[in-house]
């Protein structure tokens, strides 16, 4: 009897080990799945980390300071630098929020209440691109200016093209009072998207040609979306209105493998492109840095 006990103990130990190993093998996939879920869902949305400090600085300002709900995760927004002792363009009280990336690049958000208010500038929340141009056809996005109510806002990059156009637009779309604590979701970048209004139908003229005048201005393309018929000749007249930076260069596609670039030498210049679309579908046109974008729809 005594000789048999060590063998029974050994069998029990082996059985216990097998049970533990089986349990580990079962648990590992669940643990990995949990870790993967945490990676794609890093954390819940929360209060913007800079809100409290911005609120403290707002005491010196004659307006509500705005901060973005969305900001790409490359910025360390909790370490924002806040400057309030530098005046605006005409001596106004101004606040500057300087957000840094882990690589040392910066995005500066300047806000002030202009002394001279212009009703024309405050309509429709018009945004003006700040571009740096080396030549007539080589421009980079360095920031953007806009009005939110009566407050003028300027966003400036330390490095041109620091953000995609979509990212900057979303950031500006989500500006709100720091007093709201701005519930934010900067833990994961949003997908880049582009939407356009219904197309402007281009009629066929008496000469059998569909003629469309495409005008680029600081507000974008007009029309930003137009429709033409397949296998019918198109005459595209490209013009410029105002200062548009890289918008003077148009990259235009009308078939999968047919692309043309038109460049305006001056604000008074115009370029004409004649083509016959042979494919139905949607074809995007834009400037080199995607600051200005539009869509042509080709119908059967």
- Burial (CB < 10 A; 0-12, 13-18, 19+), residue 182, is buried
| pLDDT: which is higher, 5 or 257 | 257
Assess whether pLDDT exceeds 80 at residue 37.
no
Q: What is the pLDDT of residues 3-30, one digit of tens each?
A: 445 555 555 556 656 666 565 555 555 5
Burial 270-282 (b: 16+ CB within 10 A, else e): ebebeeebeeeee
| pLDDT: which is higher, 122 or 225 | 225
Percent of the chain past pLDDT 90, that is, above it, reads 43
Domains, the chain, ordered by start:
46-184 (3.30.200.100), 200-299 (2.60.40.420)
Section 248-267 average pLDDT: 89
pLDDT of 14 = 60
Assess whether pLDDT exceeds 60 at residue 188.
no
pLDDT of 24 = 59
pLDDT of 25 = 55
Helix (H) or strand (E) holding 201: strand 200-201
């Amino acid at each position: 009897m005594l000789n048999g006990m060590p063998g029974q103990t050994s069998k029990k130990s082996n059985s216990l080990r097998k049970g533990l190993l089986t349990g580990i093998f079962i648990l590992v996939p669940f643990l990995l799945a949990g870790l993967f879920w945490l990676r794609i869902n890093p954390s819940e949305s929360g209060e913007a980390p800079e809100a409290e400090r911005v609120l403290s600085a707002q005491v010196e300002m004659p307006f509500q300071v705005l901060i973005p709900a969305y900001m790409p995760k490359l910025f360390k927004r909790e370490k924002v630098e806040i400057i309030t002792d530098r005046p605006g363009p005409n001596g106004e009280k101004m606040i500057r929020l300087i957000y840094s990336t882990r690589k040392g690049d910066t995005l500066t958000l300047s806000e002030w209440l202009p002394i001279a208010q212009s009703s024309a500038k405050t309509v429709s929340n018009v945004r003006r691109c700040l571009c740096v141009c080396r030549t007539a056809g080589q421009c980079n996005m360095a920031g953007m200016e806009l009005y939110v109510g009566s407050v003028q806002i300027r966003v400036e990059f330390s490095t041109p093209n620091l953000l995609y156009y979509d990212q900057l637009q979303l950031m500006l779309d989500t500006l709100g009072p720091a007093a709201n604590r701005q519930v934010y979701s900067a833990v994961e970048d949003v997908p880049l998207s582009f939407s356009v209004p219904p197309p402007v139908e281009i009629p066929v003229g008496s000469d059998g040609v569909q003629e469309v005048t495409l005008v680029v201005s600081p507000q974008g393309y007009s029309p930003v979306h137009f429709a033409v018929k397949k296998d019918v000749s198109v005459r595209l007249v490209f013009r410029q209105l105002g200062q548009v930076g890289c918008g003077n260069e148009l990259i235009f596609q009308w078939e999968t493998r047919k692309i043309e670039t038109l460049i305006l030498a001056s604000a008074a210049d115009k370029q004409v492109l004649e083509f016959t679309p042979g494919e139905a579908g949607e074809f995007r046109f834009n400037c080199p840095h995607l600051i200005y974008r539009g869509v042509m729809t080709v119908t059967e």
